[in-house]
Chain A
Amino acid sequence: MKSLGMLLFVLGLSLSPLTALAQDGEDAGESRAETFQAAEGAQTENIPGGMLMVGAYGVTLVLVLGYVVSIGMRQARTARELERLRADLSKREG
């Protein structure tokens, strides 16, 4: 009985480094574990700030100038119609 206890003690002692090693192996593996997730947005890309800035100023310029041209065209059309109507009416009245 005493020899059996001694045998179990020696066996346990001899296996303890293996269990410790196994424990260390798990920790090291966990510390290096990575989770791959789908990217949201474009954090990993090198975004060209200069192009975005030029785009912003360009779009603003185009929109403002486009609106000015649109006002000019509407003004010219209204003035033309007004002139034609006045001429027609004065012809009929006169």
Chain B
Amino acid sequence: MKDSSSTRPPLGWLVLAAITMALVLVSVWATFVHAPVEMRMGVVQKIFYIHVPSAYAMYVGFVVCAVGSAIFLVKRDEKWDALAVAGAEVGLLFCLVVLITGPLWARKAWGYWWTWDPRLTTTLLAGMIFTAYVVLRSFGGGEAERRFAAGLAIVGLFDLPVIHYSVQRWRGTHPTVISSRGGGLHPDMTHALLVGFVLFTALVALLIWTRTRTERDRQALQALELEAAERGLLEDL
């Protein structure tokens, strides 16, 4: 029987984990020491350095899920399905971070926790779509669930550009700081934000890699159980 599981993580994974840990320290320094306190909002503006990279990490996770799902539907190769599951979970994790850190910042900046602004609403919608994906996959790993979930992920992909451009196309409350048409950042704030983007890139890659390995092992276990059952070896176990 095929052995695809391994308890020992590969060297590349260990290197990436070490880089991520180092980046956490650099990011903490850049956020709390290097970047100045914002003039009008004060210290609460520092939420920006995790809120925006989290949104980016959410996009990465959801895109990985949708791409993995599309390739799975074409090739029916389980490794793409494992990647899709990992992308959905990690994207959902960062979507949750965005939807929690955003209101905490908004409470101070806008005076209220939540408003039905186009960007907030479309982000919530993406979160709900990929929550449905994860819940559906948690019911079981049958072919029908996997195919339906893959379709759902591809539908969810279409919400991502809507989130991104909603702030430019529709009137709302959510500001644009990183934009070619106005806004801007103090240079030291830009450094902290860039470090945040690098950190969250490493973090999202590490988490997707780790979760994909776990899912591949679960698939191996399922395949082994199926093979054993077909050979009549599970009857007395």
Check if B78 is an interface residue, CB within 8 A of chain A: no
Residues of A73-89 at the interface with B, using a CB-CB cut-off of 8 Å, are 74-75, 78-79, 81-82, 85-86, 88-89
Inter-subunit contact B221/A89 (CB<8 Å) = no
Our pick among A40, A41, A63 for the contact of B93 (Cβ within 8 Å) is A63
Residues A67 and B207 in contact in the complex (CB < 8 Å), given A53-B46, A86-B224: yes
Residue B15 interfacial (CB < 8 Å) = no
Q: Report yes or no: A79 in contact with B43, Cβ–Cβ below 8 A.
A: no
Q: What CA separation (Å) do A80 and B120 show in the bound complex?
A: 42
In the bound complex, how far is the Cα of B107 from the Cα of A57, in angstroms?
15
CB pair A85 B44 closer than 8 Å: no
Closest chain B residue, CB of each to CB of A59 = B100
Q: Kindly state whether residue B110 has any CB partner on chain A within 8 Å.
A: yes
With the chains together, A52 CA to B211 CA distance in Å? 31
- Rounded to whole Å, the gap between the CB of A61 and the closest CB of chain B is 10
Instruction: Let me know if B47 is at the binding interface, CB within 8 A.
Output: yes
Q: How many residues of A contact B (CB 8 A)?
A: 31
The answer, among B43, B97, B105, B224, for a CB contact under 8 Å with A60, is B97
Count chain B residues whose beta carbon lies closer than 8 angstroms to a beta carbon of A: 42
Contacts A59-B101, A67-B93 given; does A79 touch B217 at CB 8 Å: yes
Check A57 against B41 for contact (C-beta < 8 Å): no
Q: Taking CB as reference atom, which chain B residue is nearest A74?
A: B214
Residues of chain B lying within 8 A (CB to CB) of residue A11: none
B44 x A93 contact (CB < 8 A): no
Please indicate the chain B residues that have their CB under 8 angstroms from the CB of A6 in the complex: none
Q: Contact between A78 and B108 (Cβ–Cβ < 8 Å)?
A: no
A47 to B64, CA, bound (A): 38
Can you give 15 contacting A-B residue pairs, CB < 8 Å?
A41-B112, A49-B108, A52-B108, A53-B44, A56-B100, A56-B101, A71-B207, A71-B210, A74-B218, A78-B5, A78-B218, A82-B220, A85-B224, A89-B224, A92-B233
Looking across the interface, which residue of chain A has its beta carbon closest to that of B6? A79
Q: Does A12 contact B (CB under 8 A)?
A: no
Q: State which residues 32-67 of A face B: CB under 8 Å.
A: 40-43, 47, 49-50, 52-53, 55-57, 59-60, 63-64, 67
* Distance in angstroms between the alpha carbons of A27 and B28 in the assembled complex: 58
